[in-house]
């Protein structure tokens, strides 16, 4: 498992870099999914279970972005998946150039599905196109159902929302229908997957969506 220290990308046009990276990934047949969420929403736990469930069907790789530490990449590597940790030099987001550097360090031969686990933050990551083919946001039940009201941009820029830790719904004051309605008001086309990586509830729907999107990405 590698650890890469990143620095601010030197190019002026992140949007153009992102388009170019997306085009290359399409050509290569690797779907890159940009996973965004708050700290502690359960991104790594969701990924671990997804890799265990889909690892026999798809070649999966994970690019872990953090300010410091390599605890997440170590958890993923322990599952036998290709994994690289990048450090963002204090920056609160990943841009397309940083993502490219991480992917190049990882190598993507025969990878069907690559996840970028973006910095834990509901604001900055939504403002930078990473070049990913799909954006997925994760919201955990303990964070509360008011988050779409407070961080609308991230819900608007995501293709899918995974609501994690649904096994704790009885414990927290979180109304699933209220949350879904708030999200759909911001983004009517978004796919919503309530899941518990602990009990397995809802994982099948999320994983079917991943398989469908990965397969569609390989079509010319």
Q: List residues binding its own copies (CB under 8 A).
A: 38-40, 66-69, 71, 90, 92, 119-124, 127, 140, 142-144, 146-147, 149-153, 165, 168, 171
Nearer CB in complex with its own copies: 30/157 = 157
Instruction: Map residue 200 onto helix, strand or coil.
Output: coil
C-beta of 30 vs 38, nearer to its own copies:
38
CB of 35 to its own copies, least distance (A): 15
Q: Which is nearer to its own copies, 111 or 139 (CB)?
A: 139
140: nearest Cα among 178, 176, 116? 176
Rounded to whole angstroms, the Cα distance separating 194 from 46 reads 12
Please report how close the Cβ of residue 111 comes to its own copies at its closest, in angstroms: 25
- Tell how far CA 14 is from the center of its chain: 19
Least distance (Å) from its own copies to the CB of residue 14?
16
Which pair of tokens denotes residue 146? 């008011």
Instruction: Give the E-state strand segments of the chain in sequence order.
Output: 2-5, 31-37, 60-66, 82-87, 113-117, 134-140, 160-164, 191-194
Q: Which is nearer to its own copies, 109 or 127 (CB)?
A: 127
User: Minimum Å distance from CB 136 to its own copies?
Assistant: 17
Q: State the Cα angle at 172 between 169 and 173, rounded to 5°.
A: 105
Measured CA to CA, the distance from residue 2 to residue 8 in angstroms comes to 19
Looking at the Cβ atoms of 112 and 145, the one nearer to its own copies is 145
User: Min. distance of Cβ 117 from its own copies in angstroms?
Assistant: 11
- Between 35 and 108, CB nearer to its own copies: 35
CB of 83 to its own copies, least distance (A): 16
Buried b (16+ CB within 10 A) or exposed e, 70-103: bebbebbbeeebbbbbbbbeebebbbbbbbbbbb
Taking the C-alpha atoms of residue 52 and residue 88, their distance in angstroms, rounded to an integer, is 28
């Amino acid at each position: 498992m590698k650890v890469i220290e990143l620095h601010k990308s030197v190019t002026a046009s992140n949007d153009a870099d992102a388009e170019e990276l997306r085009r290359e990934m399409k050509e290569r047949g690797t779907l890159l999914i940009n996973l965004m969420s708050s700290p502690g929403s359960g991104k790594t736990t969701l990924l671990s279970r997804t890799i265990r469930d889909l690892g026999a069907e798809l070649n999966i790789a994970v690019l872990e972005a953090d300010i410091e530490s390599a605890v997440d990449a170590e958890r993923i590597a322990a599952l036998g998946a290709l994994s690289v940790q990048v450090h963002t030099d204090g920056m609160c987001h990943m841009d397309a150039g940083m993502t490219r550097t991480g992917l190049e360090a990882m190598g993507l031969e025969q990878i069907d599905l690559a996840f970028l686990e973006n910095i834990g933050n509901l604001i900055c990551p939504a403002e930078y196109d990473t070049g990913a083919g799909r954006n997925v946001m994760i919201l955990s039940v303990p964070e509360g159902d008011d988050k779409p009201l407070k961080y609308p941009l991230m819900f608007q820029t995501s293709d899918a929302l995974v609501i994690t830790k649904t096994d704790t719904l009885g414990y927290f004051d979180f109304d699933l229908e209220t949350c879904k309605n708030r999200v759909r008001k911001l983004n009517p086309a978004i796919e919503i997957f309530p899941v518990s990586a602990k009990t397995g509830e809802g994982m099948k729907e999320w994983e079917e969506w991943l398989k469908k999107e990965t397969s569609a990405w390989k079509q010319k």
